[in-house]
Structure formats: structure tokens, C-alpha cells
A and B are shown apart, each in its own frame.
Chain A
Amino acid sequence: MSIKTVSANPFSALGHFLIVSFKDIRSFSQLVGATLVQLFAHLPRKKETFQQLYFVANGSLWTIAFCVTFASIVTILESSFHMKIVIQNDSMVPGFASVLILRELGSVVTALLLTSRVGAGMAAEIGSMKVTEQIDALKMLGINPVRFLVVPRLIASTIGCVILSIIANMVCILAAMIVADQFLGYSIGLFLTAMRRFVDFQDIIFASIKAFCFGIVIPLMSCYFGFNCKSGADGVGRATTQSVVFASVAIIVLDFILSYTFSYFY
């Protein structure tokens, strides 16, 4: 069906969109299914998994720490500023900021940064392998590409995302504490007292569950777009962009679903 025909008729455009979406969802589900089978059917390739974990965790640590520090500073300063305007009092800022950091900021910002750094890298790498027939070569040598490429990345990304999210939360809280102490007049003791009133242990568990889920989404999306990469540099570029866009959207939607689900437990 030509683009001209599709755009001329809204019904055929809708039909075309639905067919393409259905095909994409079906092949993404097939990849997820194949990954689960390979994940539990064989032991993971240790060397490759550790290499990927190093790439995910160590390679992203400083970028994430740097970015979440500033996100945390902005969060606490903005909260204080607006609370002072609305209720003429910012005494709840330490507790409020701590909850926001643990429930949302730490894990979501970490996942989004991982998507742009690690997810894009994975999509580009697998896309290049597809274009240069390395994936076909793997099949010819009797190697399952999902087991060889997706499983190590999935394990590494999941573990890496949880670890980085915990570190990001700690860095965020530390940054918020310092800013509260230096600029808002709340000592570290006061901050911790307020934090204990607002934050529960389950917040940390829920943040880790979120990070775990985001860690699964990133490599699956990236590998899917890599495997379906069209030929040429343009194809690899497009696969990389699509993987970042779709993984970011998936993370935001998943965050909403998880937050909504967790709200029943508070």
C-alpha cells in the first residue's frame, strides 16, 4: 500500500496502522517468549553477562550520579519555593522530597538515562550485527541469537538497573540533605527525622521493583529494534532512535501502572 493511498483515506490509514501495530506487538511478544525460554533453558554466558553488567552499571554510574544529583537539588528547591508561596511553610519539604525521590525520581531518571546510554548502544550494536549478517552467521553456526545476545543483556540490565537505582536514590537523598542543610535551614538530623515520618521501608522495595521492571524493558526494546533493523546506516540510526523512544515511553507508562498498583499498599 502506498503512502499516498494510506494518507488519502483515513480508514485505510487506520487499518494500516492497526495491522503494523499488531505485527509489531506479535513479533515483540515472540521475542519476549523466546527470551524467557532461553533464560530458563540454559545457564547464562558468564563472561558476556559480566561484560554487559560492567558496560551497564560501571559505565553509567557517574552520568547517573551527576544527573540525579541535579534533579534532586531542583526537586527540593522547587518544592520549598512553591510550598512557601502556597502554605507559607516548607517544613514538609524534607519528607516530601524524600518520598518523591524514592518513589519516582531515583528509579525513573536512572531508567531513562540508561535507555539513552545503554539501550541506544544495544540497539545500535545488534542493528549493526543484523546489517552485517553477523546474526545470520550465528544461526549458521548453530547459535541461538536470543540466547547469545539478548539473555546476557537482559540479566546485566536488570541487575544493573536495580543497583544503579539504589545508588541513585542514595545520591539523591544525600544531595537533598546537603541542600536542605545549606540553603533551607534544615539540619541533617531534622531532615532524617522528617524522612522517617514520610518514608517507609516498602518505598525502597517498590523503588527496587520498579528498577527491576525498567531493567527488563530496556534490553528487550533495544534488542527488538536491533533485530528488526533495516539495512544501511540509516536503518541502524532509525532502530536506535526507535528503541530509545519506545523504551522511554514504555518506562513512563510502566511507572504509572506500577505506581498505581503500589498505591493500594500504602
Chain B
Amino acid sequence: MIQYKKLIKSFGTRTILKGIDLHIKAGEIVFILGTSGTGKSVLLKNTVGLMKPDSGEIWIDDENVTDFTEQEFLPVRKKCGMVFQHPALFDSLSIYENIAFGLRKHFSLPESEIKERVEQALSLVNLENVLAKRPGEISYGMQKRVSLARTVVLRPKVLLFDEPTTGLDPVTTNSVNSLIQNLSRKLNTTSMVVSHDMHCALKIADRIVVLDQGQIVEQGTPQELLRSQVPLVRDFLAEARDLL
């Protein structure tokens, strides 16, 4: 589904991704864990062309997208939804308009169906009575959930989550994690989740990839990671155990 081959990305003299080789299968939920600044978000942004790698290749659905132009990336972005670290909602639009924005752009749907899909997406993230509000009128946690709804409403085949639960309360965090799991299982969506949360990763991931200093230092199923001897993985596991 998604494959990275020797992916390298630098900013100035600093190399963020140092030859990433990773293959993500269709329907898989992959958590990318690592400390801040290890290139997790950069990896996601390279996947959908928001950043360009210096070298290496990115393949999506047997198609090499590495050197795609903005125009060529349009169909790729249509099938890949991304939930950003920030809610990234458009301040000038209402919540309804924010969620309907992509639907109007990508599909020629009647307004009644757009409304239905918007309401459906909002109920998935446990939000009600916010349709007419502006992003500035709701809390940060609610904005993040709207951002999730905006992505989910397009029913993409691949979902990329950049720290989807940062800034959310524990109840919403659990519901977002369940949502990621349900979407993957019911709609066979492939999910890549960038996170610091080993606890969640152990619960819902099919595979966990640990990045350190721009390289993959460990990867495997949650059970395999529990047996890992890599110090960074042990640190993450210790923190997850503290939370239990």
C-alpha cells in the first residue's frame, strides 16, 4: 500500500530522515513512535507531497509518487486523508462549512447528502450542536475532533494522523483511538498514526515503528515490542506501564 525506500530528508545541514525503509500493508494500523524532532511528522508530510524528499522513493498503491507535481498529487491526496497536529480549521468558515469544504471540492453531491455526511462525521467524533459555530468559538479539543471529522467525511483509503490525540481529554482520546481502530476494521482503511502514546499504540496498533534520530530502531507487533531490548523502546514501555 505505502512503501518508503531509503527515504532521506534534510533541512539545511540537518538530516531528519536517514534512509527510511518501511512497507505498510493495506488495512494495517501502524503507529510511528519516537521522541520530538525525530522526523515522524516529516515522514507523513513526505507521503502526501507536502514536503519533498531529498532522495529515496515513496510508493503508494504501486505508484511511485516521489517526483509527482502538485497536480499529480491531487488524486493521491483524494485517497489519503491527513489529520494535522494543529486542528488547521479555516477560521473564516463555520464548522459545517469546514467539514463540507472537501466534499464540495471532490464530489458533486446534493446539499442534502453533504449535510447528512457532515452530521454523520460529527457524530463519529462525538460532537453535536456545533455546526453553525466558528472554530474560534469552540475549545481546542473540539477543534481537533472537527479536524478529524473533516478528514473522515471524505472516506479516504489511507488516513494519516499527526498526533491526533494531543491536547484531548482522556475520554476523547479513547474515542479517537476507537475511531481509528473502527475505520480500519470496518472500512479497511490503512492508518499511519504519529504519536508519543505507547499505551494507545499497544492497544490498537497492528504494528509499531519506533524512530530515533531519523532512523527506524525497532518495529514489530505490540507483543514483539514488549520484548524489545532497545533502550528507547524500553523507556516508552516504562512510561506506558506507569500510566496503567
Contact = CB atoms under 8 A, between A and B. Distances in A.
Contacts of A85: none
A177 B77 CA distance: 61
A139 interface: yes
B84 A137 contact: yes
A142 B77 contact: yes
Most interface-central of A134, A138, A141, A144 (chain B CB within 10 A)? A141
Interface string A122-160: 000000000011101111111110000000000000000
Given A134-B90, A136-B50, A142 B102 contact: yes
B78 A142 contact: yes
Interface residues of B, number: 24
Contacts of B77: 139-142
Contact of A136 (B78, B81, B88, B102): B88
Nearest to A138: B90
Contacts of B147: 137
Contacts of B6: none
Interface residues of A, number: 13
A97 B59 CA distance: 67
A133 B102 contact: no
Majority-rule SS of B interface residues: mixed
A141 B48 CA distance: 11
Contact of A142 (B74, B85, B88): B74
Contact of A132 (B70, B78, B86): B86
B14 interface: no
Contact of A133 (B48, B70, B88, B105): B88
Interface string B136-172: 0000000000010000000000000000000000000
Interface string B191-234: 00000000000000000000000000000000000000000000
B82 interface: yes
B106 interface: yes
B101 interface: yes
B106 A133 contact: no
B45 interface: yes
Contacts of B78: 142
Contacts of B92: 51
A236 to B, nearest CB: 13
Interface of B: 45, 48-50, 70, 74, 77-78, 80-82, 84-90, 92, 101-102, 105-106, 147
24 contacts: A132-B86, A132-B88, A133-B86, A134-B86, A136-B50, A136-B82, A136-B88, A137-B82, A137-B84, A137-B88, A137-B89, A138-B90, A140-B77, A140-B81, A140-B82, A141-B101, A141-B105, A141-B106, A142-B77, A142-B78, A142-B105, A143-B101, A143-B105, A144-B70
